[in-house]
Amino acid sequence: MSGDCGGTHTRLSLWRIPNSSMQLKGNIAPGDSIFAKKYLNEDHSSFNEVCHLFMTEAKLTNEVPEICVLACAGPILNNSVDFTNIEFGWMIDGVTLEQQLGIKQVKLINDFVAMGYGLLTLRPHEYIVLNDVPKDESAPIATIGAGTGLGECFLTPGTDGQYTCFACEGGHTDFAPADEIEIELYNEIKAKLGCSQRFSTERIVSGPGLATIYEFLATKFPEKVDLKVHEKFLKANTQQGKVVGENAKTNELCNQTMEIFVGAYGREAGNAMLKYLPRGGFYITGGLAPKNLDYFTKKDIFLNSLFDKGRVSSALRACPIYLVLTEDIGERGAHFYASSSNNRNTMSGDLIISGDCGGTNTRLSLWLIPKGSVSFRGSVAPGEITFAKKYHNENYGSFSEVCHLFMKEAKLVDKLPVACVLACAGPILNNTVEFTNIKDGWKIDGPGLERELGIATVKLINDFAAMGYGLLTLKPHEYIVLNEAEKEEGMPIATIGAGTGLGECYLTADVDGHYSCFACEGGHTDFAPADTMEIELYNSIKEELGCDRRFSVERIVSGPGLATIYKFLSKKFPEKVNAKVHEAFMTAKSLQGKIVGDNAKTDELCNQAMEMFVDAYGREAGSAMLKYLPRGGFYITGGLAPKNLEYFTHKDIFLKACFNKGRVSPAIKAIPIYLVLTEDLGERGAHYYAYQLLDSYNNSLLGNTIARERAHEKYASTNHLVLYSIIAAVSVATGVMLGNAMRK
């Protein structure tokens, strides 16, 4: 049974799924619809009443559905949802429905999550390719869709390659104006809403947002108003955005409205892509894009705005982008989810390598994993370091040279590591990374190192992704609780960390509860100024950088960003400058942010800079939380927060800014938030990930054999030869039988 439960109507469908059915990606889920009906919610006192009526009308007397998946237009919490927009108030609770209806499993999913699963059923004729680059079948997928509101969700693959979709509130991140006219629009909307700091991107990028832009332009440029179109607009009620779209090709004001809208849509799409790095595909869904195709395909506004992300634009250009034409993927997704849900020895003394490869130094560690080791969440991965060394990159011609030297110094002759994980300070693409800041230029190639060194698996991960895996090893004394909400096991985990730059990553669990970490470039989303002072700072930085439309939030929320804020304030308020502090600041070079932090408690200007920094940090943290809805925990990492604890704990600046997300603030308040005190998460994370790779080999017969042959023996052992002989004999016998059958 699958259903779509909105504020006004409930649509339910009953499916019969054949026992032999199989779900294939790019196909609608198997099964025959044997009964379907739409119900008007206000005619019924509860959802339970609707379900009982549906099952009676479907003549379900002797049979009860195995599973029921309901796509609900609202935030799902503990498998239940409240519909506050229904006059008498409805609550749908999955566990209660299981008990009352006798259905084994009732699962509630967000309506946009249903749309996310629907993406897995898309066929080529159902979308237009906007950015034609190869799709990575093992990478995250994400979607953004503007309609009545602005929806976003993301999907990540498990170890079995099956995708899981996660809801979020990404459409409620802060709107970042890009030019003077948008700043004017921004200030007018804030005044109208009575909010002094921020408003959601959804206020602009949606059908109602399209109407808001038109109203603003009509007031600003009354001479451009077409009376006939304007009268139709005023009478359209909830369809005002539709009127703008229909007249955009012939009316100057509607065209200008649509161009501002599509530019903002593109920027938010780019921000979302930086958060998820969806190399498995980024999909534009919702009703507005397919109804205004020319603005997304023939004009360059959308993609130009999307790719306008400064030095990380190349990361977005590596992601395939599609515009979805069909509008039934939500229903297909609920059916897909229901169908999918219905069908769904330790080696001793092994060696693994973990490493941290930066632009300047490479640190490598060799670990011995004892027999019977087990990794527990909240504990450092098992094993002991047998050899570790740091190498200065510029002394070597290649990373391969460093590895050979390390293995020689570690006396790895008869026994080689089974797995090697390298945390690299750079974007990973196809398990390779290039270091352009090293004099001779370095390229680390995972598959190449496997062949060259004889290691079963060499895996490169982003340095911040290593920190993400390190979160799984945290113990209670290693963090401070900032928001004591209930942690939900199996739900996404995310982290943000300001230091030299601004890093973000997120983790999702597969069906077995094992977490995978995904790198992203979330720190390079657009900075959204919150007040007059920040708009002045915003314009000052744009002028300094020579960019007329946007810059990354990392320019503010980082150590160098803290220095930038101080410089701006010292020019604006020269009378507040403390000469001694300022002199120390000017001579500190790359440590200017540290000077500001060290003097924040005693110097007025440093304190003001720190408060502006923490406020912006909180807003970006809130935006990141809306993207991932990490009910498994949201962690503040990096060096700046633990070194300036009072601004994150005793003062209300950080959490207040974090929670200031308008009507979706409750979604963030339901997320546990932690501030991490330890600084060795990256090293722990690389070790943890290497251990997980080793563990996966141990649980695979063929993988175990190959790994042992490559790591333990220069030549195949007797046991290996016996196994290979059996495989060969069976293969030959099968070939002979097939040959005889074909001859007959």
Is the Cβ–Cβ distance between 588 and 595 less than 8 Å? yes
The model's pTM is: 0.77
Q: In terms of Cα–Cα distance, which of 426, 422, 447 is closest to 435?
A: 426
Number of DSSP helices (H) and strands (E) in the chain, helices first: 27, 26
Does the structure show a pLDDT above 60 at 742?
Answer: yes
Q: What is the pLDDT of residues 187-226, one digit of tens each?
A: 999 999 998 889 999 999 999 999 999 999 999 999 999 9
Write out the two tokens for 532.
Answer: 């007059």
Report the pLDDT value the prediction gives residue 175, as an integer from 0 to 100. 96
Task: Count other Cβ atoms within 10 Å, centred on residue 124.
Answer: 9
Does the structure show a pLDDT above 50 at 715?
Answer: no
Q: In terms of Cα–Cα distance, which of 195, 204, 197, 196 is closest to 171?
A: 204
Q: Which residue would you say has higher pLDDT here, 391 or 316?
A: 316
Query: Spelled out in words, what is the top-level CATH class assigned to the domain 170-325?
Result: alpha beta
Q: How far is CA 494 from the centre of its chain?
A: 8
Cα separation, 549 vs 2, whole angstroms: 45
Is the Cβ–Cβ distance between 469 and 688 less than 8 Å? yes
Beta-bridge mates of residue 355: 364, 422
CB neighbour class for 485 (10 Å; exposed up to 12, middle 13-18, buried from 19): middle
Report the pLDDT value the prediction gives residue 342, as an integer from 0 to 100. 64
Task: Calculate the alpha carbon distances from 579 to 572, 573, 574, 575, 589 in Å.
Answer: 15, 13, 10, 10, 17
Q: At the topology level of CATH, where does 522-677 sit?
A: Hexokinase; domain 1 (3.40.367)
Q: What is the pLDDT of residues 135-151, one digit of tens each?
A: 998 899 999 999 888 99
Phi, psi of 629 (to 5 degrees): 40, 65
Report the range out of 162-176, 339-353, 372-386 with the highest average pLDDT. 162-176
Report the pLDDT value the prediction gives residue 445, as an integer from 0 to 100. 93
Give the residue carrying structure tokens 């390079």. Answer: 524
Q: What is the pLDDT of residues 475-521, one digit of tens each?
A: 888 899 999 999 999 999 999 999 888 999 999 998 888 899 998 99
The SS3 of residue 242 is helix
Q: What is the pLDDT of residues 584-628, one digit of tens each?
A: 999 998 889 999 999 999 999 999 999 999 999 999 999 999 999
Q: Which residue would you say has higher pLDDT here, 18 or 132?
A: 132
Q: What is the pLDDT of residues 336-368, one digit of tens each?
A: 888 777 655 333 478 999 998 877 788 899 988
User: Domain boundaries in the chain?
Assistant: 2-121+332-342, 170-325, 345-461+679-713, 522-677, 714-744
Length of the chain: 744
Question: What is the residue-wise DSSP string for 563-631?
Answer: HHHHHHHHHH-GGG--HHHHHHHHT-GGGHHHHHHHHTTT-HHHHHHHHHHHHHHHHHHHHHHHHH--T
Q: What is the pLDDT of residues 90-111, one digit of tens each?
A: 889 999 999 888 888 999 998 8
Does the structure show a pLDDT above 60 at 245?
Answer: yes
> Do 170-325 and 522-677 share a fold?
yes
Is the Cβ–Cβ distance between 463 and 680 less than 8 Å? no
Q: Which residues contact 193 (CB under 8 A, 6 or more apart)?
A: 199, 203
Q: What is the CATH architecture of 345-461+679-713?
A: 2-Layer Sandwich (3.30)
% of the chain with per-residue pLDDT over 70: 91
Does the structure show a pLDDT above 80 at 377?
Answer: no
Does the structure show a pLDDT above 70 at 557?
Answer: yes
Q: What is the pLDDT of residues 21-80, one digit of tens each?
A: 555 555 567 777 788 898 888 888 888 899 989 999 998 877 888 899 999 877 788 899
Q: In terms of Cα–Cα distance, which of 328, 400, 347 is closest to 28?
A: 328
Q: At the topology level of CATH, where does 2-121+332-342 sit?
A: Nucleotidyltransferase; domain 5 (3.30.420)
Does the structure show a pLDDT above 60 at 708?
Answer: no
